């Protein structure tokens, strides 16, 4: 594991670049008078937290999983745990990729450990005063599929539909 330290440094650097490139500034803790509400991972109407829009178009705060393709897809992020959730969110989890062998319907999922960054908070259309994360970056911290780079960034839809 002599490459572990460079990988961690690379992952930290990529996370910093993702947030800096987005122009995101981490907000300070909520004041005693603010009303941040979180119910079972769902953002309430009065919530001021930035949300991740799921496939059904609902805003989520600190979800445990995310389907990048918004259908029975070949890539799912599971086991998400979050260390920060502000104007950018940082966490880790597992990317599950269907190997589609012998077919995608009969394939099995191969697991890859990842770091996740949600960033570029933007106004959420049709949700006055609410923002959603419009970018997701994942960074492989171990093995990865041979055909993909060490980090990938995706544009996230505001409606839940890709």
Half-sphere exposure of 66 (CA within 13 A, CB side): 35
CA 74, 122, 117, 43 dihedral sign is: negative
Is a pLDDT exceeding 80 seen at residue 144?
yes
pTM: 0.72
Share of the chain above pLDDT 70, in %: 70
Q: What angle do CA 134, 140, 143 make, to 5 degrees?
A: 150
**Where residue 160 falls among pLDDT bands split at 50, 70, 90?**
confident
């Amino acid at each position: 594991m002599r490459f572990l330290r460079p990988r961690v440094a690379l992952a930290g650097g990529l996370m910093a670049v993702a947030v800096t490139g987005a122009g995101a500034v981490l907000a300070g803790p909520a004041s005693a008078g603010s009303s941040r509400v979180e119910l079972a991972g769902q953002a309430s109407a009065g919530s001021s937290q930035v949300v991740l829009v799921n496939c059904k178009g609902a805003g989520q705060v600190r979800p445990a999983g995310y389907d990048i393709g918004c259908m029975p897809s070949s890539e799912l992020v599971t086991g998400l745990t979050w260390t920060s959730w502000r104007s950018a969110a940082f966490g880790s989890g597992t990317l599950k990729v269907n190997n589609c062998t012998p077919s995608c319907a009969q394939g099995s999922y191969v697991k890859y450990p990842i770091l996740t960054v949600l960033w570029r908070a933007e106004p959420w259309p049709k949700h006055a005063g609410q923002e959603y994360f419009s970018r997701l970056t994942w960074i492989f911290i171990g093995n990865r599929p041979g055909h993909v780079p060490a980090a990938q960034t995706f544009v996230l839809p505001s409606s839940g539909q890709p």
